[in-house]
């Protein structure tokens, strides 16, 4: 399972074209461009991100949600998702279909989950360290040789 850095966007038949033979890509992300680590560190992705954002703003400035031609077959709030400035570089698993499309499974959210979990662990550890600084806890440790129960467990 090779992971890559890529710019992705949700598939829309009006924008990307409709194929009668392949309707199982609705709701999937298509890869616009992949980047190596050197390209990433040189910020080469910024130019394409700006082009994508400007493209949506100029091509679809006032899309009406009720417009049946432009509505997405499965995602009701497609234009709300696309209009936001959420075109970013993602960590993805690349899947190449037999029909030529390159789909992406986003893995960036796992990194966000990992970061949130560690932030919570560090916050809890800092709280326990601050409780151990209290004179009452220090005195307890000097007498009994261990921390009080309320500041003993550190993950």
Q: What is the pLDDT of residues 90-101, one digit of tens each?
A: 889 988 887 777
b/e map 129-148, b = 16+ CB within 10 Å:
eeebeeeebeebeeeeeebb
Task: Provide the whole-model pTM.
Answer: 0.61
pLDDT in tens, 104-139: 888 988 888 999 999 999 999 999 999 999 999 999
Q: How far apart are CA 99 and CA 93, in angstroms?
A: 18
pLDDT in tens, 26-82: 777 888 778 887 777 777 677 777 676 666 666 665 555 455 556 666 666 666 666
User: Which range has the worst mean pLDDT, 4-8, 84-88, 136-140?
Assistant: 84-88
Angle at 75 between CA 70 and CA 33, to 5 degrees: 80
Provide the 10 A C-beta neighbour count for residue 96.
Answer: 10
């Amino acid at each position: 399972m090779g992971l890559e850095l890529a710019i992705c966007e949700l598939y829309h038949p009006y924008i990307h074209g409709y194929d009668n033979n392949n309707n199982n890509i609705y709701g999937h992300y298509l890869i616009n461009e992949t980047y190596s680590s050197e390209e990433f560190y040189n910020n080469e992705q910024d130019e394409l991100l700006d082009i994508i954002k400007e493209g949506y703003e100029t091509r679809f400035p006032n899309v009406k949600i009720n417009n049946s031609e432009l509505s997405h077959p499965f995602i009701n709030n497609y234009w709300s998702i696309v209009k936001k400035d959420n075109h970013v570089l993602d960590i993805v698993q690349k899947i190449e279909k037999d029909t030529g499309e390159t789909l992406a499974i986003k893995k960036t959210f796992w990194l966000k989950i990992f970061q949130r979990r560690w932030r919570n662990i560090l916050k809890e550890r800092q709280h326990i360290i601050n409780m151990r600084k209290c004179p009452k806890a220090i005195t307890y440790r000097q007498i009994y040789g261990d921390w009080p129960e309320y500041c003993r467990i550190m993950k």
